[in-house]
Structure formats: structure tokens, C-alpha cells
């Protein structure tokens, strides 16, 4: 699937684009089952909250077949290639959980800020595309975006090593307040199978999940091949070093997985 003119305009204006029903309920349910398998693994790539609940599983496409297929799905790869005007590689792959009652906060940040400071990614010619495997509601820790904040460039940030179980380059309250007063705050909520694409400089966060309903979102961080990282200080499962272009699979590539699960 490719984006139409209105969708391209909305992405460039707001910094994100919400795409409901991008995947079927069967596809998202199958992948949610794969996420449960990944979270049950005792692996370095699976980061946990202080409670012990899974927070994120890095590089799941390297050790789970379902997420390998998703990582080359044409409904995800082709729109990003369209926006970046170039072939892309996988910079980072995360299966993020917000466990019922125990899912912790992700502070306000820009992804490119971390990729540039930690990995020496040259330019913000990279972006995230997120796939909802659960219904995302106002109650279970949705993504929060500040529309148009990507136009502010890469902002000064502090390295937060203590607030949560995963370190981030976070923005101060004054910066977030100023940007939110200009652009407001949006929370794209929707059912499983929805997708949201967002610019790597878009300021975003997510609140804790104190509801009894879990929330799982897969994030593909895709980067233009010519814009690959230059520093390799972070673990390879966090900042990948395979810069080969992703070759999109067939649109029905998840069907085989669904058959095996059935």
C-alpha cells in the first residue's frame, strides 16, 4: 500500500499519520500471540520493568519468525521508502509492552536525538512506524504526540538514566510546554491492526498504564540506507549494523504464520 497525496500532506504538516485497519484482526491477534512468546523468553534483548513485567523486546525480528515477516512487510516498508525517497534498513526493532497496572512512563523525547547523539546517525532521514497489536485507548498508556513539533529540529535534551528502566535523551518541561502550547497534544487511539507513522524528530511520550488492560505496540525504526549510523557504542541488538536494504515481502506473507498457529 502506498500513501495518497492527502496522507503525504498530513504527514509532512503534523509529523505523524494514523492509519486504521492497516492490518486485519487476524494478523494482529497472531502477532500478539508471538509477542507473548517473546516476552516469556529469558534473553538480554528483553528489557523488564522494575516490577518484572516486560517493557520492550529488542530485535525480535532476529529470533521470532512472525516478527521477521512483519519487519519486511510491504504495508510498512513501502510507505516509508515513499516518504524517504530511498531504500531503507532496520535501525531498531522493538516490541513494546505496557503491562496492565504495571506499564511505566516513556518520557517526552525525540527519537532522532538519541540516534544522533548515541549512534551518530547523520540526519533525521529515519522514522518510526508502529503497529498496534492491542486496542490502544485513552486508559492504557497511549502514545502522545505534539503535532508539528518535528519542524523545531533536533532540540537540546538531557540524558535520563534513572527515571525508568530504559535510558532516554529527554526534553525539559519548559520545552514541552512551549511546543504543546503551539501544537497541542494528540493521542492516536484505535483498535488492533492500526498503524501510526511518525517523524524521527516528532516529540512524543506515553503515560503509565494503570488500567487492567495491556497494550502492545511494535515499532520499526527505519532509516535511509545512505543515512546509516557511524558509531557503534550501543549493543547491536539496540542499534543495528546491517545496512542492507530491506526487500519487501508479499502482502500475504503473514498468512503462513496464521496457518501454523491455527
- Which of 30-34, 92-96, 103-107, 248-252 is predicted with the least confidence, judged by mean pLDDT? 103-107
pLDDT in tens, 114-155: 999 999 999 999 999 999 999 999 999 999 999 999 999 999
pLDDT at 23: 98
| Three cell numbers, residue 33 | 500471540
Q: Is 197 helix (H, G, I), strand (E, B) or coil?
A: strand
- Give me the domain span that covers residue 162: 5-261
Question: Looking at the DSSP assignment, which residues form a beta bridge with residue 88?
Answer: 224
Say how far apart CA 153 and CA 238 lie, in whole Å: 24
Confidence at 239, pLDDT banded by 50, 70, 90 = very high
Say how far apart CA 111 and CA 128 lie, in whole Å: 9
Q: Is the pLDDT of residue 160 over 80?
A: no
pTM value is 0.93
Confidence at 37, pLDDT banded by 50, 70, 90 = very high
Interval 1-11 mean pLDDT: 95
pLDDT in tens, 53-112: 888 999 999 999 999 999 999 999 999 999 999 999 999 999 999 888 988 888 999 999
No. of helices (H) and no. of strands (E), the chain: 7, 12
Question: Looking at the DSSP assignment, which residues form a beta bridge with residue 89?
Answer: 223
Interval 226-245 mean pLDDT: 97
CATH number of residue 10's parent domain? 2.60.120.620
Say how far apart CA 69 and CA 217 lie, in whole Å: 16
pLDDT at 1: 77
pLDDT at 53: 85
Say how far apart CA 136 and CA 28 lie, in whole Å: 13
> What average pLDDT does the structure give for the chain?
93
Q: Is the pLDDT of residue 165 over 60?
A: no
| Three cell numbers, residue 60 | 525480535
| Three cell numbers, residue 193 | 491492526
DSSP sequence for 98-116: E-TTTBPPEEEE-HHHHHH
pLDDT at 13: 98
Say how far apart CA 97 and CA 52 lie, in whole Å: 12
Return the axis-axis angle of helices 74-84 and 5-14, rounded to nearest 10°. Answer: 70
pLDDT in tens, 169-185: 889 999 999 999 999 99
pLDDT at 103: 83
Check residues 167 and 57 and name the one with the higher pLDDT.
Answer: 57
Contact assessment for residue 251 and residue 75, using Cβ atoms and an 8 Å cutoff: yes
Contact assessment for residue 110 and residue 171, using Cβ atoms and an 8 Å cutoff: yes
Contact assessment for residue 49 and residue 96, using Cβ atoms and an 8 Å cutoff: no
Q: Is the pLDDT of residue 30 over 70?
A: yes
- Total domain count, the chain: 1
Task: Give, in degrees to the nearest 5, the angle at Cα 124 between 121 and 127.
Answer: 105
Amino acid at each position: 500500500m502506498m500513501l495518497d497525496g492527502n496522507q503525504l500532506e498530513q504527514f509532512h504538516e503534523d509529523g505523524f499519520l494514523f492509519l486504521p485497519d492497516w492490518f486485519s484482526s487476524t494478523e494482529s491477534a497472531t502477532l500478539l500471540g508471538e509477542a507473548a512468546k517473546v516476552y516469556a523468553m529469558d534473553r538480554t534483548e528483553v528489557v523488564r520493568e522494575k516490577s518484572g513485567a516486560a517493557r520492550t523486546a529488542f530485535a525480535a525480528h532476529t529470533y521470532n519468525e512472525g516478527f521477521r515477516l512483519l519487519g519486511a512487510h510491504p504495508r510498512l516498508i513501502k510507505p516509508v521508502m515513499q516518504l524517504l525517497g530511498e531504500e531503507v534498513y532496520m535501525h531498531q526493532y522493538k516490541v513494546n509492552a505496557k503491562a496492565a497496572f504495571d506499564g511505566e512512563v516513556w518520557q517526552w523525547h525525540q527519537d532522532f536525538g538519541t540516534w544522533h547523539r548515541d549512534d551518530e546517525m547523520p540526519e533525521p532521514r529515519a522514522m518510526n512506524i508502529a503497529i498496534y497489536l492491542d486496542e490502544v485507548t485513552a486508559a492504557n498508556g497511549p502514545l502522545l504526540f505534539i503535532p508539528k513539533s518535528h519542524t523545531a529540529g533536533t532540540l537540546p535534551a538531557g540524558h535520563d538514566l534513572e527515571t525508568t528502566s530504559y535510558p532516554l535523551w529527554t526534553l525539559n518541561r519548559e520545552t514541552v510546554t512551549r511546543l504543546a502550547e503551539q501544537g497541542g497534544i494528540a493521542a492516536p487511539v484505535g483498535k488492533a491492526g492500526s498503524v501510526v507513522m511518525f517523524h524521527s524528530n516528532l516529540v512524543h511520550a506515553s503515560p503509565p498504564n494503570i488500567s487492567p488492560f495491556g497494550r502492545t505496540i511494535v515499532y520499526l525504526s527505519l532509516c535511509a540506507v545512505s543515512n546509516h549510523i557511524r558509531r557503534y557504542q550501543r549493543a547491536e541488538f539496540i542499534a543495528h549494523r546491517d545496512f542492507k536494504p530491506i526487500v519487501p515481502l508479499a502482502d500475504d506473507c503473514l498468512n503462513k504464520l496464521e496457518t501454523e498457529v491455527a
